Amino acid sequence: MPLRELADMTWEEVRDLDRARTVALLPVGAIEAHGPHLPLDTDGVIARAMAGAAEGPLARRGFAALRLPTLAYTAAPFAAAFPGTLSISPATLAELVLDLARVLTRQGFAALAIANAHLDPAHLRALADAVARARGETLLPVACPDLTRRVLAERLTEEFRTGACHAGRFEGSIVLAERPDLVREALRGVLPPNPASLSAAIRAGHATFQEAGGPRAYFGWPADATAAEGRATIEVLGAILAESVAEALAPGGAA
């Protein structure tokens, strides 16, 4: 059975859900530059796939899943200079996520799971702020795994662990698996590797893709991407999200 989409349902269908056993899945990404070969909505593609892959693991834990519309506008200062990138303030994102948590709490959902595919530091700080404030207000549990944490990054691909993973093999593989029609294959196949590490650049104080060594807004090995790797990665991302939900729902759990 396909994953249920909130936007496709009627209000009466939502009313009749067992919301106390339903996890609301919120895909979160940015509309930002992803090289010359991947769409601006690459993060959205990845986030929706991550949310979808969490359905099975959640079902095995006794929870239904409902995917919310993608939250596509967020802080993206690293890519802000590239045409098409739509970067908003971190405070706006934090308030929006917190308001969604309040609404979902009032409607009686079991938890909010944020399937986040955007790793800009300003964005991650805003999500962490929203999660902490939701906990302070005693709202429903909010799960938001941070893929930059070493314990999670080690479960992902070699390229991801290098930090050179924006529009490279890691992200390109997932888009190939989910939306191959959006990949500019003629460009992808001839792009040279860019091994510059974004994570190292962030630690060094750089604040833009250009400063980090990515003048065309990509890092990593885009020509090496494969749909098979993408499918395997999606399964890992779904498992990580479901595990984060379980942790958030546990007594005294933290997202």
DSSP letter string, 133-195: HHHHTT-S-EE---TTSHHHHTTS-HHHHHT--SSSHHHHHHHHHH-GGGS-HHHHTTPPPB-
Q: Which fold has domain 4-249?
A: Rossmann fold (3.40.50)
Confidence of residue 251 (pLDDT cuts 50, 70, 90): confident
pLDDT at 96: 98
Q: What is the pLDDT of residue 84?
A: 98
Greater pLDDT, 253 or 4: 4
**pLDDT category of residue 255 using cuts at 50, 70 and 90:** very low
Crossing angle of helices 42-53 and 169-178, rounded to 10°: 70
Return d(Cα 116, Cα 72) in angstroms, integer. 10
Is the pLDDT at 53 greater than 80? The verdict is yes
Tens-digit pLDDT profile for residues 159-207: 999 999 999 999 999 999 999 999 999 999 999 999 999 999 999 999 9
Return the pLDDT at 2: 79
Whether the per-residue pLDDT at 254 is higher than 70: the answer is no
- The pLDDT of residue 121 is 96
Contact between 149 and 226 under an 8 Å Cβ cutoff? The reply is no
Q: What is the pLDDT of residues 69-125, one digit of tens each?
A: 999 999 999 999 999 999 999 999 999 999 999 999 999 999 999 999 999 999 999
- Model pLDDT for residues 111-155, shown as the tens digit of each residue: 999 999 999 999 999 999 999 999 999 999 999 999 999 999 999
Residue 194, φ and ψ in degrees, nearest 5: -130, 95
Alpha helical stretches, state H, 28-111: 42-53, 55-60, 90-106
Report domain extents, the chain: 4-249
Do residues 242 and 54 make contact, with C-beta atoms less than 8 angstroms apart? yes
Between CA 125 and CA 143 the distance in angstroms is: 15
Identity (one letter) of the amino acid at 138? T
Whether 23 and 64 have beta carbons less than 8 Å apart is answered as yes
Distances (CA, A) of 194 to 111, 143, 168, 223: 39, 33, 8, 11
Structural tokens at position 229: 């790797």
Burial code (b: 16+ CB inside 10 Å, e: under 16) for 180-203 equals eeebeeeebeebebbebbbbebbe
Taking each helix axis as running N to C, give the angle between helix 90-106 and helix 121-136, from 0 to 180 degrees, rounded to the nearest 10: 40
